[in-house]
Amino acid sequence: MQTKQPKFKFYATLLDAFTSYLKSDAIWERYWGFSENPPHTPEEFRQKQFQSLIDTINRVPFDNEAADKGTAFNEVIDCMIEGRKSEKVRVRRVFFHGIDGKQSLIGLNATYNNRQFNFPISICREFADYYKGALTQQRVEAVLPTCFGGVLLYGYIDELMPMSVHDIKTTGSYYVGKFKDHWQHMVYPYCLMQNGSDVRSFEYNVTDFKSTYTESYTFVPARDIPILINHCEDFIRFLNDNRDLITDKKIFAED
């Protein structure tokens, strides 16, 4: 049995950041492999990914419009599900005024972090209706045993249904399998299972605000827990190799 006191603390998107670093060359090839004048070489991009991972580990603040848009949309959906007003996003309705004097609701304008975003009401309603009765923003955590000691895995489930876990994703463009290398669909079911809730069905519900898409995964403990352990152990090796660059000790459970 592992000791109850974990030696590391990882959240799901931190594991995503490590994957992005590991796949630097493949990501460069996807976006710039056919470019005659790429903005950086594969080596330079790998270094940028390395620094981005270190900054994520150290919780360096960053300003990102796409991330803000996702946060605002998620909050709008949660408010619609729960029938409440938001305390962190200012929302106003957007109407179309017809020549006959009638007006119809066409969207929601959300202001978050001094940025404004417009969300089509049809997309908002589709998401909110789909999650009717869901528990929103549920924090989960559980200890994963590794050869280096226990790792506390944790995160927030966007929408928890009785038989499925859902993560809302917003994107500028979508392709099939875009989120297959993300770790929420392993971390969250594992945490739930360790806490007595056997919910193995997971969906990434994705929108580019023109259409909606679903990526479905099933958590298979015998297959997926070893994969999760292996990824965490590789990440721990990375952390140990670069410990002199890490200023935020929470990842080493030293907070």
Q: In this structure, are residues 140 and 11 in contact, taking their beta carbons and an 8 Å threshold?
A: no
Split at pLDDT 50, 70, 90, the class of 45 is: confident
Taking 50 as the threshold, does the pLDDT of residue 1 lie above it? no
Confidence of residue 3 (pLDDT cuts 50, 70, 90): very low
pTM of the predicted model as reported, rounded to 2 decimal places: 0.91
28 confidence band (pLDDT: 50, 70, 90): low
The one-letter amino acid code at 159 reads: E
Domain boundaries, the chain: 8-15+134-252, 65-126
Look up the CATH number of domain 8-15+134-252.
3.90.320.10
Q: How far is CA 164 from CA 36, 39, 161, 178, 199, in A?
A: 45, 41, 5, 20, 6
* Mean confidence (pLDDT) of the chain: 93
In the predicted model, what is the mean pLDDT of residues 99-115? Answer: 90
pLDDT digits (tens, 9 = 90+) for 135-185: 999 999 999 999 999 999 999 999 999 999 999 999 999 999 999 999 999
Burial group, residue 149, by CB count within 10 angstroms (0-12, 13-18, 19+):
middle
Q: 170-183: per-residue pLDDT in tens?
A: 999 999 999 999 99
Residues 52-74: tens digit of each pLDDT: 999 999 999 989 999 999 999 99
Mean pLDDT of 79-89: 96
Q: What percent of the chain lies above the pLDDT cut of 70? A: 97
